[in-house]
Copies of this chain bind each other. A is one copy, B any other.
Amino acid sequence: MRPTPSFAPLPSSLPATVPFVGAEQMERTRGRPFAAWLGANELTLPPSPLVMEAMAKAARDEATFYPDPPAHFLRDALAAHHDLTPDQVLVGEGIDGLLGLTVRLFMAPGDVAVTSLGAYPTFNYHVAGFGGVLETVPYRDDREDVDALAARARETGARLVYLSNPDNPMGSWVSHADVQRLIDTVPDNCVVMLDEAYGEFHTDPQARTPRGFIRPNLLRLGTFSKAYGLAGMRVGYALGPADLIAGFDRIRNHFGVNRLAQAAGIAALADTAHLAGTLATIAAGRERLADIARASGVTPLPSATNFVTVDCGRDGDYARAVLREILARDIFIRMPGPAPLDRCIRISVGTDAELDMVAAALPEALAAAL
């Protein structure tokens, strides 16, 4: 037999473990399904009927044809939705895919990216994957600390700074003025990546990014996976100045965005009434989830998202035990990794029936973990 060829040095240096274990893999490992999936901040409500119709039509008429590489019609719809021009919009395979492309486009091996300790791990995965150096700053009062991010970027000559607003995993937010200050105080050759995956759920008008907001050093990232309920379809987008957006065409998988996903995105944007209903349902569910936490003797953090992060009131070991107890009660949730965020668990806003399960399981889990 011939020898096994080696990987290139950079991939060889990366961990061989699978970084992201999904809910179904957890079910297979434990040998039992979950009764509720509240761990990935998916929308457990149905998508718009118009979206379902658009997907059915595209399945019937178009599944056999390669997707349109520029996603022309979805890009136009997104441009109109965000008060931008089409050349300021790039449609991609979810924010995860766009994070990887952004790292690849701006960072050479050894370059620095700055993020918050405990923020979205997929960004960190891509930075490592392209040989970048990750610098982290702590959250401050459970919010991403824009001044610390900017300062660290200046100290390290960072190429990228990552900020999610609203934030995952804490559900918190910063004001648009804070975002502006970050943009204005990073070093000259640094791109601010503003992850707005949860942007539709903003509760504070001062935190919302104004329509049409573009800066030379800003890339905004949006998705149909959260408020539009299409996580399974893998479609997201980047908004930014046309010269940065055009750069992605040098490296992206041009035929990569599924045809049904493009059709679904167009229909989702058009059904504004459905989105309004979703946001109202989620707001009510978020309140109920906060009430469930308080009734169980623990503290829900304020949330501008479709999840509630609950401070279990003790240390990380306790919260990890609570998490295990909730999983054992067949509810899939997750929690932040590093201290001090790891005193919390994170629960997606589910349906009424799913929140009934949380209401039953949470007090039991908190007691069992003591």
Contacts and interface: CB of A to CB of B under 8 A. Distances in A.
A204 interface: no
A19 B241 CA distance: 21
A63 B47 contact: yes
A159 interface: yes
Copies in the assembly, this chain: 2
A232 B249 contact: no
B63 A255 contact: no
B64 A45 contact: yes
A213 interface: no
Interface stretch (A92-100, A138-146, A281-289, A336-344): A92-100
B72 A25 contact: yes
A117 B229 CA distance: 45
Nearest to A230: B63
A246 interface: yes
A229 B97 contact: no
Contacts of A243: 4
Given A233-B259, A254-B18, A254-B19, A217 B63 contact: no
Nearest to A234: B258
B105 A8 contact: yes
A231 interface: yes
A216 B10 contact: no
Interface in A168-189: 183-184, 188-189
A94 B257 CA distance: 10
A5 B233 contact: no
Interface stretch (A52-60, A290-298, A317-325): A52-60
A11 B111 CA distance: 14
Given A191-B5, A244-B5, A63 B229 contact: yes
A266 to B, nearest CB: 14
A74 interface: no
Contacts of A107: 8
A212 to B, nearest CB: 16
Given A97-B256, A259-B232, A47 B64 contact: yes
A250 interface: yes
A33 interface: no
A261 B234 CA distance: 11
Given A6-B189, A93-B256, A94-B256, 19 more contacts: A1-B216, A3-B188, A3-B216, A5-B216, A7-B106, A20-B254, A22-B68, A43-B64, A55-B260, A58-B232, A59-B59, A62-B232, A65-B231, A67-B232, A94-B255, A129-B250, A232-B258, A233-B260, A258-B260
Top 7 A-B pairs ranked by shortest CB distance? A232-B259, A14-B250, A64-B229, A8-B108, A24-B68, A63-B232, A66-B231
Interface of A: 1-11, 14-25, 28, 37, 40, 42-47, 51-52, 55-56, 58-60, 62-70, 72, 93-94, 96-97, 100, 104-108, 111, 129, 159, 183-184, 188-191, 215-217, 225, 229-234, 241, 243-244, 246-247, 249-251, 253-261, 264
